[in-house]
Structure 1
Amino acid sequence: MRLSTAILSVLIFSLLNACSTAPTSHGEVKGASASSREMGQSDTNRMATLAMRDNLESLYLLMDKLYRRNPAEWKKSGATREEVVKRVREAVEKRQTWADLQGKHDIAAMSLALSPDFKADRVAAFIYATADMIITAHGGKIEFFLIDGLDAQYLYNAARNIEIAVWMLTNRRNTAGQPLLLSDEINATERNLSFEREFGKIVGRLDLLAEFITEKYRRAGISYVQNLLGGSFLQFLPVR
């Protein structure tokens, strides 16, 4: 009996040890490389720059995922998928117009890209228009320095625009009665909500930055009062 108990204990210990050594890594946080340009950035500028970078990367990821679910869209351009993706990135980051959007920008471009009768590449138009709207909400800039200011309400509005766009993609139909673009899917055998999660990341970053901008000015007033009080009441007294 004692032998059986000892063997059982050894087996349990081995199993627990195997579980503890199983790979559990899910990646690690990575910071950007230091740059001399950061000397001209406040903490707020840096946070806004990183948030913008991540939001654009999320849109490019969504573009790739949308093209995989809607391959007929990129084929409308007569180019390869990789070429279209590259063109969209360049147009966004160089602040160029997108021909299929008829010179429209930000919310006007989003409205056109999500209209039921839009015939051109809807994925490229939608991603370009959404990126343009976000950049417009940031004062038309992608990178931010000490001379730049941000309007918290515009950032908040941009987050709501993303939510509206996601609702349109889910519920609006084209002239043939089909979804504007295939994205998330829930059925008896599959549950794919990766599009919603990625859009949610963009909304979260925009909302956090909007709140942070608002908090910054409130905290500046509090810090000013604290400094006044500190000057009068919170100084150490001489002891010799």
Structure 2
Amino acid sequence: MALAACSSAPTTHGEVEGESFHGKELLQSDSNRMATLAMKENLESLFLLMDKLYRRNPAEWKKTAASREAAVAYVRIAIMERQPWLELQEKRDVAALSLALQPTFTGDRVAAFVYAAADTIITAHGGLTSFTLIDGLDPQHVFNAARNLEIANWILNSRKAADGKPLLLSNQADDAQSNLSYEREMGKIIGRLDLLASYTTERYRRSVIGYGQGLVAGPFLQFLPVR
């Protein structure tokens, strides 16, 4: 039985799927494409986190809409269309993130937190969610966004509301049940941001090195006459 179990086919966990070709990709370099895909994945992770947080904190979505699905849709539209979220008092990026994590905040904290986190990421990318050859990234800003999300995550897990309860129920780790899916998803976002920051820095550095290599090695890479 043990041998049969070892030889059985592994459980399917899905497979990598690429996007179909779009004409706008002709205006993207490899790094542009990587930044665009990372942004898409990070926003989708935030939307997944929003749904998880709403499920664990149903009192929050009731402050925004008549259903959890409607609340998710409203926040998603506000993020993708760069519309302000009224409860954040016209604050953006880290200022909005700070307000959303204040113990005295009485609005929909899930919506405010996810909106502010998304706005922080987009602002760090120059206010863009898709990138072409004329767009550049500041790797330090992307790196800073990753650190800001780490700080926000720590505050969310440690700070208490005015009534002494957690700001939001997120992870669950006790004798009865363990659920760290929120932590894992947030870790994916931070990891993507760090990788993009490192890649962008390396790309600029390698461009300079490549240029220097061309100047030094160029004369030695000439074909020699054979007749």
Q: Could you say what secondary structure the match of 2:156 adopts?
A: helix
d(CA) in 2 for partners of 1:193, 1:155: 25
d(CA) in 1 for partners of 2:10, 2:198: 37
Query: Offset at 1:239?
Result: 2.0
Residue in structure 1 matched with residue 110 of structure 2 by the alignment:
123
Give the TM-score, by structure 1 length: 0.91
Write out aligned runs for 1:74-85 (5 A).
Answer: 74-85=61-72
Is 2:147 aligned against 1:160?
Answer: yes
Write out aligned runs for 1:71-110 (5 A).
Answer: 71-110=58-97
Aligned residue identity for 1:237: L
d(CA) in 2 for partners of 1:38, 1:195: 33
Residue in structure 2 matched with residue 146 of structure 1 by the alignment:
133
Write out aligned runs for 1:1-240 (5 A).
Answer: 16-17=3-4, 19-240=6-227
d(CA) in 2 for partners of 1:231, 1:214: 25
Query: Offset at 1:119?
Result: 0.4
What do residues 105-139 of structure 1 show as CA deviations (whole Å, max 9, x unaligned)? Answer: 00010011100010011000100010011000000
Query: Offset at 1:17?
Result: 5.0
Q: Could you say what secondary structure the match of 2:129 adopts?
A: coil
CA contact (8 A) 2:65 2:71 kept: no
d(CA) in 2 for partners of 1:108, 1:189: 37
Aligned residue identity for 2:143: Y
Aligned residue identity for 2:155: M
Q: Could you say what secondary structure the match of 1:167 adopts?
A: helix
CA RMSD of aligned residues (A): 1.3
The unaligned stretches of length 5 or more in structure 2 are: none
What do residues 175-200 of structure 1 show as CA deviations (whole Å, max 9, x unaligned)? Answer: 00000000111111211111111000
Query: Offset at 1:78?
Result: 4.2
d(CA) in 2 for partners of 1:163, 1:141: 22
Query: Offset at 1:238?
Result: 1.9
d(CA) in 2 for partners of 1:164, 1:131: 15
Give the TM-score, by structure 2 length: 0.96
Identity rate of aligned residues, in percent? Answer: 63
Report how many aligned residue pairs link the two structures: 227
Query: Offset at 1:18?
Result: 5.6
Larger of the two Rg values belongs to structure: 1
What do residues 122-176 of structure 1 show as CA deviations (whole Å, max 9, x unaligned)? Answer: 0001000100110000000100011111100000000001100110111000000
CA contact (8 A) 2:103 2:167 kept: yes
The unaligned stretches of length 5 or more in structure 1 are: 1-11
d(CA) in 1 for partners of 2:199, 2:146: 14
d(CA) in 1 for partners of 2:89, 2:135: 30
Query: Offset at 1:33?
Result: 1.2
Aligned residue identity for 2:185: E
